[in-house]
Structure 1
Amino acid sequence: MQIRAVLFDLDNTLFDHPSSARAGVDALLHHLGTERSTELTRCWFQIEEANYQRFLAKELTFQEQRRERLRQFLPLAGLSVPQTDTRIDELFTTYLETYEDAWMAFPDAAPALKSLRAIGMPVGVITNGNHDQQTSKVNRIGLKPLLDRVFSSELTNHAKPAQEAFLQPCRSMNVSPAETLYIGDNYRVDVEGARNAGLKAIHLNREGPMGEGAIQSLAELPLRLFEGSL
């Protein structure tokens, strides 16, 4: 069946979250007078992922997951946790300002989207997260003119890999799941989630071992699409 729309994950697919987050962690540790280290950065990402999942499961609000990240991270850096939410929020702002200043798209993102728009293909994003933050990313990294829609889990009230997280965007764009291609970096959440909802899916694996049908760069996508090798 012909592909009539292409949808993308945002973080780690179009948007270079790891580079921005590392810059934010470095700024936070510098502000606190603590040496940065590979181990602390690794811990930050683990804590971030765990608490973001709690936010997606509606166990924590978006602001609460930010506070919880610092409550868990600061002791690992040998630092005390502020006693008030206000002080924790102020400290998180130190991370957030540098994180946002470092926002960038992957170099292959805009060219891939432009090639799809050039053939009249509807293009959108399905992303887990806070709608305002995710749309701000799209705007700031210059991809807004290349996207028709941004569907966040906050907007649809369904987080990937739930089937409805993929089905709502298909209905909104007036395409059937079988006619829709989805690309993402997380195999379980993006690829399996999309396929379980009836979409076609490609795994973008920028650094790891290449599984069958996976791509290492979005530059490979147009050729795969045009050749029909999905």
Structure 2
Amino acid sequence: MHFPVRAITLDLDDTLWPIAPAIVRAEDALDDWLRRHAPRAATRWPPDARRRLRARCDEERPHLAHDMTGQRRWMIERMLADAGEDTALVQAAYDAYFAARCEVEHYDDSVPALERLAARVPLAALSNGNACLRTIGLMHLFRFQLGAREHGAAKPDAGIFHAACARLGFAPGEVLHVGDDIRTDVEGAQRAGLRTAWINRGGARWPRTMPPPDLEFTTLAALADWLDANPQPESMSA
């Protein structure tokens, strides 16, 4: 399939890097910080208890569903308060967690592919998570990063896709959204009028009941190959 691509929006977690190892690393970093600075909270809130607290956050504070930073800060404050620790420690505890959360391990193809894509068209990051591209060291490849927290709503809400297109200066049909998640990335972008590319690293089958993506690849490198094989008009280059 060939169609013009003036810009690309990209999901981050599980598209550029696997999220699970980063979250495990972040939880371990928080454990270590609590043991050193708030030991009663460390004892009171082992990982299983924190998972239950996360579920309570989802139930009691649905207005934070799009705000991973707000969720985590609320959880840490609750943990400290319930254990009789100083709640003024929230920021320092969160900083320890977040620094480790941004220690991501890129898929082998991700960075070279991003460099190739960025040389061809403008890139924008569009994520429901709270990873910081500046901290990770990839911000120079992107025009901007738009997160659900900053926008006020998460994918698959059409508004976040439209906001990204407006900042890029292109109509939705001229922008290709790239991501791993069937519902939040592909279905959400389709409903917002964007072109879609599904990064299917695990070899999953597309649901028969849903309209397929415009493109499907097992790696980001394959997307870069596709873009190289389908040159865009000069006026569409970055």
Q: TM-score, normalised by structure 2?
A: 0.69
Q: Deviations over 1:80-133 (max 9, x none)?
A: x524571883895496066246334333221111111223x111111225xxx5
Match of 1:66 among 68, 72, 83: 72
State the shift of 1:177 in Å. Answer: 0.9
Match of 2:225 among 220, 223, 226: 223
Q: Which residue of 1 aligns with 2:172?
A: 177
Answer whether contact 2:66 2:148 (CA < 8 A) is retained: no
Q: 1:85, 1:64 → 2: CA distance?
A: 19
* Residue 154 (structure 1) aligned with residue 155 (structure 2): no
Q: Which residue of 2 aligns with 1:103?
A: 104
Answer whether contact 1:54 1:60 (CA < 8 A) is retained: no
Write the letter of the residue equivalent to 2:199. L
Match of 1:164 among 149, 159, 165: 159
Secondary structure in 1 matching 2:217: coil
Q: Which residue of 2 aligns with 1:77?
A: none
State the shift of 1:171 in Å. Answer: 1.4
Q: Any stretches of 5+ residues in structure 2 without a counterpart?
A: 36-41, 207-211, 231-238
Instruction: State the structure with more CA Rg.
Output: 2
Runs of 4+ in 1 over 6 A off after TM superposition: 52-56
Change (3 A) 1:126 1:59: closer
* Residue 138 (structure 1) aligned with residue 133 (structure 2): yes
State the shift of 1:138 in Å. Answer: 0.4
State the shift of 1:62 in Å. Answer: 5.6
Q: Which residue of 1 aligns with 2:115?
A: 114
Write the letter of the residue equivalent to 2:71. Q
Answer whether contact 1:55 1:62 (CA < 8 A) is retained: no
State the shift of 1:174 in Å. Answer: 1.1
Secondary structure in 2 matching 1:159: coil
Answer whether contact 2:29 2:97 (CA < 8 A) is retained: no
Write the letter of the residue equivalent to 1:147. F
Q: Which residue of 2 aligns with 1:86?
A: 87
RMSD: 3.9
Number of aligned residue pairs: 211
Q: Which residue of 2 aligns with 1:196?
A: 191
Change (3 A) 1:55 1:188: farther
Answer whether contact 1:204 1:215 (CA < 8 A) is retained: yes
State the shift of 1:196 in Å. Answer: 0.3
Q: Any stretches of 5+ residues in structure 1 without a counterpart?
A: 75-80
